[in-house]
């Protein structure tokens, strides 16, 4: 047996010398351009964004984004995210290497389970740091580049009238979008009318996805989706409540259109339940909901192994979390669906917080090429949106 001597500095080589020295929480109120309405809750005026900036002893910093969405299974508030990070995660992080992302995320989960919204910006900031230290974009850390750009879908929020919905859809189609996600679930008569109007207006030039955001009962979903079937719906997203996986599985057998799970999937265990019960044909991830890049890459691998289609999504986000998903897409060797991960930068948000925002072109997002996430915070924008919590 060959005795291969380890280099004398193997310990140092295994751990980059850079150490995290400070965890900075930056809570923001990021305004929507127009109030954002889905099946649950009132229309929203702002996104409660939290940026985490990690400082190091080498001067290089890394950023990640999460938000207090407070719907669809999330009970987050900005103050509780900041307290969780400052009081519990920061002491566990100080002195660690940004290259220890798997160990750090594992420690967070052991210390405080079900804190994915608070873990997301830290893990993603560690990836941003690793990329900046090595001078490579994050997708190089995730397996390398499989695509240069990724097609995205636009979201049609609840508009009040079919006319204004069609106007909104027309705007997206003129921008080059071919995938439209229609929010449904409050008024089946209007949902049907909207789908008929979209199909009549755009014929087969668009793909129509419908998203009930967990807002329907089984019987209402069966009734509505059956009526929508003749209009060639690509996928019906999360028709039923988060907890009703058995209902989703029964519905998947009762309707012809494929179903997608979104709110029902937070961890790898909830994904395994969807797979085991064949409750959906595809599933959607979001940076905040699923805990950031580290966990999402794992979920995508599990889904691909099970033959589940991957939908790269996001809550409405700034270019920071949008970039995180773009890098995941870049490094994914499997097909990815046209996801809604760029809805925040496709017109939903009134402003962005980086100097080099991601701007979709022709319904596609180009993969950022700069080191780390490839986006740089705009300090003036941060100062103007910052709030005290």
Q: Name which of 76 and 262 has its Cβ closer to Mg ion.
A: 262
Min dist. Cβ of residue 120 to Mg ion (A) = 17
Beta carbons within 8 Å of 217's beta carbon, 6+ residues apart: 240
Min dist. Cβ of residue 156 to Mg ion (A) = 13
Min dist. Cβ of residue 370 to Mg ion (A) = 29
Q: Name which of 125 and 165 has its Cβ closer to Mg ion.
A: 165
Q: Name which of 27 and 316 has its Cβ closer to Mg ion.
A: 316
H-only helix segments in the chain? 10-14, 78-83, 90-93, 101-111, 116-134, 138-141, 162-174, 188-202, 218-228, 245-254, 268-276, 287-290, 293-305, 319-330, 379-385
CA-nearest of 306, 341, 309 to 327 is: 341
For helices 116-134 and 293-305, angle between their N-to-C axes, nearest 10 degrees = 100
Q: Name which of 93 and 212 has its Cβ closer to Mg ion.
A: 212
Min dist. Cβ of residue 213 to Mg ion (A) = 6
Write the interaction track for Mg ion spanning residues 247-286; mark x where CB under 5 A is met and - where it is not: ---------------x------------------------
Q: What gap in Å lies between CA 317 and CA 89, rounded to an integer?
A: 23
Q: Name which of 150 and 381 has its Cβ closer to Mg ion.
A: 150
Min dist. Cβ of residue 102 to Mg ion (A) = 28
Min dist. Cβ of residue 205 to Mg ion (A) = 23
Q: Name which of 23 and 349 has its Cβ closer to Mg ion.
A: 349
Q: What gap in Å lies between CA 189 and CA 193, rounded to an integer?
A: 6
Q: Name which of 234 and 262 has its Cβ closer to Mg ion.
A: 262
Q: What gap in Å lies between CA 292 and CA 124, rounded to an integer?
A: 6
Q: What gap in Å lies between CA 308 and CA 276, rounded to an integer?
A: 11
Q: Which residue of the chain is nearest Mg ion when measured via CB?
A: 262
Beta carbons within 8 Å of 80's beta carbon, 6+ residues apart: 68
Count of residues engaged in binding Mg ion, rule: CB under 5 A: 2
Q: According to the binding rule CB under 5 A, does residue 309 interact with Mg ion?
A: no
Min dist. Cβ of residue 214 to Mg ion (A) = 8
In this structure, the strands spanning 149-151 and 364-366 are: antiparallel
Furthest-apart CA pair in the chain: how many Å? Answer: 76
Q: Name which of 150 and 153 has its Cβ closer to Mg ion.
A: 153
SS3 170: helix
CA-nearest of 275, 200, 276, 191 to 236 is: 191
Site residues for Mg ion, 199-228, by CB under 5 A, read: 211
Q: What gap in Å lies between CA 84 and CA 98, rounded to an integer?
A: 19
Min dist. Cβ of residue 315 to Mg ion (A) = 9
- The strand pairing partners of 386, in sequence order, are 28
**Residues lying near Mg ion in the complex (CB under 5 A):** 211, 262
């Amino acid at each position: 047996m060959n005795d291969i001597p380890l280099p004398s500095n193997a310990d140092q080589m295994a751990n980059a010398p850079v150490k995290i020295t400070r965890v900075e929480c930056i809570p923001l109120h990021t305004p929507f351009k127009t109030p954002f309405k889905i099946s649950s809750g009132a229309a929203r005026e702002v996104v409660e964004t939290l940026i985490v900036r990690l400082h190091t002893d080498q001067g290089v910093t890394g950023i990640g984004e999460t938000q207090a969405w407070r719907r669809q299974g999330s009970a987050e508030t900005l103050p509780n995210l900041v307290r969780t990070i400052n009081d519990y995660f920061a002491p566990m992080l100080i002195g660690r290497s940004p290259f220890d992302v798997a160990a750090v995320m594992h420690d967070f989960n052991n210390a405080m389970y079900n804190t994915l919204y608070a873990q997301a910006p830290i893990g993603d900031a560690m990836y941003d740091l690793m990329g900046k230290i090595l001078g490579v974009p994050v997708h190089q850390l995730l397996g390398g580049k499989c695509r240069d750009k990724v097609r995205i879908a636009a979201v049609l929020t609840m508009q009040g009238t079919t006319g204004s919905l069609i106007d909104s859809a027309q705007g997206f189609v003129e921008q080059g979008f071919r995938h439209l996600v229609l929010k449904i679930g409050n008024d089946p008569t209007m949902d049907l009318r909207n789908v008929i109007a979209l199909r009549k207006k755009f014929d087969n030039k668009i793909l129509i996805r419908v998203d009930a955001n967990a807002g329907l009962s089984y019987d209402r979903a069966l009734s509505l989706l059956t009526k929508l079937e003749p209009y060639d719906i690509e996928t019906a997203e999360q028709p039923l409540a988060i907890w009703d996986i058995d209902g989703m599985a029964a519905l998947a057998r009762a309707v012809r259109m494929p179903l997608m799970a979104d709110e029902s999937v937070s961890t790898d265990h909830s994904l395994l339940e969807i797979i085991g019960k064949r409750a959906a044909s595809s599933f959607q991830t979001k940076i905040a909901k699923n805990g950031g890049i580290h966990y999402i890459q794992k979920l995508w691998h599990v889904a691909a192994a099970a033959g589940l289609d991957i939908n790269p999504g996001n809550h409405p986000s700034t270019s920071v979390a949008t970039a995180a998903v773009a890098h995941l897409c870049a490094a994914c060797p499997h097909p990815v669906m046209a996801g809604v991960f760029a809805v925040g930068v496709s017109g939903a948000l009134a402003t962005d917080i980086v100097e080099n925002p991601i701007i979709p072109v022709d319904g596609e997002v180009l993969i950022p090429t700069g080191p780390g996430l490839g986006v740089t915070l705009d300090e003036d924008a941060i100062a103007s949106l910052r709030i005290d919590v």
